[in-house]
């Protein structure tokens, strides 16, 4: 869903989350996330690795940005567009190398 349209009190399904549509919801379900509350405490990087392992595909790193957006939202932050996390992801992955 477009982050500008997200209403926290109405988030019940995965597609109610910021930046999550049908494809994103399917990816979350593949890694065992069936409802938004299950995102609380999850690591976006671990989620990404799990998705890549399960599908046998290296997904675009922007998927990490989407995962960052939803885990942060469920931790209480305001909804933001996924690309607001790109610079942070790049900094974090550069440090890890």
| Per-residue confidence (pLDDT) for residue 96, from 0 to 100 | 65
Domain count, the chain: 1
Q: How far apart are the first and last CA of the chain?
A: 33
Domain span holding position 86: 3-96
Provide the whole-model pTM.
Answer: 0.94
Per-residue pLDDT of 35-65, as tens digits, reads: 999 999 999 999 999 999 999 999 999 999 9
Contact between 46 and 67 under an 8 Å Cβ cutoff? The reply is no
Higher-pLDDT residue of 19, 93: 19
Q: List, in order, residues 6 or more apart from 69 with CB less than 8 Å away.
A: 3, 18, 19, 79, 80, 81, 82, 84, 85
pLDDT at 75 over 70: yes
Q: List, in order, residues 6 or more apart from 85 with CB less than 8 Å away.
A: 64, 65, 68, 69, 72
């Amino acid at each position: 869903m477009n982050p500008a349209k997200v209403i926290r009190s109405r988030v019940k399904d995965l597609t109610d989350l910021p930046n999550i549509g049908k494809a994103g919801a399917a990816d979350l379900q593949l890694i065992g996330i069936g409802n938004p509350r299950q995102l609380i405490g999850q690591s976006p990087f671990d989620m990404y690795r799990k998705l890549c392992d399960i599908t046998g595909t290296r997904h675009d790193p922007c998927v990490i940005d989407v995962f960052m957006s939803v885990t942060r939202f469920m931790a209480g932050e305001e909804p933001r567009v996924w690309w607001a996390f790109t610079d942070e992801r790049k900094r974090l992955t550069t440090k890890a190398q």
